[in-house]
């Protein structure tokens, strides 16, 4: 039974260190730890790597159309909604706070809106990574701005935790166990 872990972000060097790319960063960090390499897939319009029973995916369709690439891969492999985990940034959470959820709405996140419209379900798991909100900067500019050096150091610690969450999901721990273990820690 295949599982899918999607990191949301925008392709290209311009966005590589932006707050909106925390999903890509999480999967890149995991791939580095596991010594696996993403390959570009024209078929799925994404960078993907298969590792044991999991496919890691970074859609190249830009955030607002992420659902299209995910839908194509889900259809091709016949992956069930409950076997999908999506990692993405959340401006409504304090910086570096992690929050796991079974399902839900988009919370105004355009990547999740796209997934909801293409998958026609909200039954996929979510790992929200807090990036806070700025009252001083327009939201669209803020999420596309880079993390500061201090934020990068703090985020690195959370990427280690996210890698553990990915392993637990991959290793078939119940999602309730995973939520209990990590939602209570910060």
By annotation, the residues acting in catalysis are 20
According to DSSP, the residues that pair with 39 across neighbouring strands are 48
């Amino acid at each position: 039974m295949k599982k899918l872990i999607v990191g949301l972000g925008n392709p290209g060097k311009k966005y590589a260190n932006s707050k909106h790319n925390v999903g890509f960063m999480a999967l890149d960090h995991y791939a580095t730890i596991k010594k696996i390499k993403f390959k570009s897939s024209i078929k799925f319009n994404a960078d993907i790597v298969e590792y044991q029973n999991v496919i890691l995916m970074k859609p190249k369709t830009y955030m607002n159309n992420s659902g299209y690439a995910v839908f194509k891969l889900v259809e091709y492999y016949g992956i069930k909604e409950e076997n999908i985990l999506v990692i993405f940034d959340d401006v409504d959470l304090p910086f570096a706070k992690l929050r796991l959820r079974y399902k839900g709405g988009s919370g105004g996140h355009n990547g999740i809106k796209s997934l909801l419209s293409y998958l026609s379900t909200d039954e996929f798991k979510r790992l929200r990574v807090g990036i806070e909100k700025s009252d001083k900067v327009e939201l669209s500019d803020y999420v596309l701005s880079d993390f500061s050096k201090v934020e990068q150091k703090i985020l690195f610690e959370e990427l280690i935790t996210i890698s553990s969450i990915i392993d637990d999901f991959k290793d078939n721990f119940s999602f309730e166990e995973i939520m209990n273990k990590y939602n209570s820690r910060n």
